[in-house]
């Protein structure tokens, strides 16, 4: 498949290949050749990306507006946060509610799941509701951990996750 634009999931590819796709795209646009051959690309480990939206994932993903009052990004080896906001910024209903992407990399899928769960526990965004709690519930769910999921899994497990959230 050929895309002339980067996909929102491109950080996952970057994490497992070590190739900075944005840099390569800029190099090519500047008239330079790509800096590697296909044979040079080697995938290693596992990467997971969670899109963080200003939405309430436990309320039919309703948009959330307001001012970002607090922001703390998780950090550490194999953790990357690509954010599109700053503390004090007003989140309005007029734009895409994606705040950023949290990406992790680890040697195995199980390790990547654990790292993502930890990173989702550490990230703090106050002032608007976010999809962080629902992302954490999905990452920690046995179906996701086992790899036994499909495109319908979220609608199947969301009522269960919502019930568990209400018991806390």
Active site residues: 5
Q: Which two tokens stand for residue 123?
A: 């990230």
CA–CA separation, 37 vs 121, rounded Å? 39
CA–CA separation, 54 vs 29, rounded Å? 33
Q: Which two tokens stand for residue 45?
A: 């480990």
Is the CB of residue 54 less than 8 Å from the CB of residue 130? yes
Q: What are the residues whose beta carbons fall under 8 Å from the beta carbon of 154, sequence distance 6 or more?
A: 138
Q: Which two tokens stand for residue 148?
A: 């036994």
Site of tokens 């895309």: 3
CA–CA separation, 77 vs 61, rounded Å? 31
In angstroms, the first-to-last Cα distance of the chain is: 45
């Amino acid at each position: 498949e050929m895309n002339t634009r980067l996909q929102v999931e491109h950080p996952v590819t970057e994490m497992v290949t070590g190739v900075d796709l944005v840099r390569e795209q800029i190099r090519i646009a500047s008239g330079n050749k790509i800096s590697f051959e296909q044979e040079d690309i080697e995938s290693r480990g596992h990467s997971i990306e969670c899109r963080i939206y200003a939405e309430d994932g436990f309320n039919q993903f309703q948009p959330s507006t307001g001012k970002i009052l607090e922001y703390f990004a998780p950090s550490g080896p194999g953790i990357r946060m690509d954010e599109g906001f700053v503390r004090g910024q007003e989140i309005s209903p007029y734009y895409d509610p994606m705040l950023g992407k949290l990406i992790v990399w680890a040697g195995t899928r199980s390790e990547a799941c654990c790292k993502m769960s930890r990173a989702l526990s550490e990230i703090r965004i106050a002032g608007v509701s976010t999809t962080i709690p629902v992302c954490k519930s999905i990452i920690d769910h046995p179906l996701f951990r086992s790899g036994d999921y499909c495109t319908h899994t979220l609608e199947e497990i969301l009522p269960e996750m919502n019930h568990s959230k209400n018991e806390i």
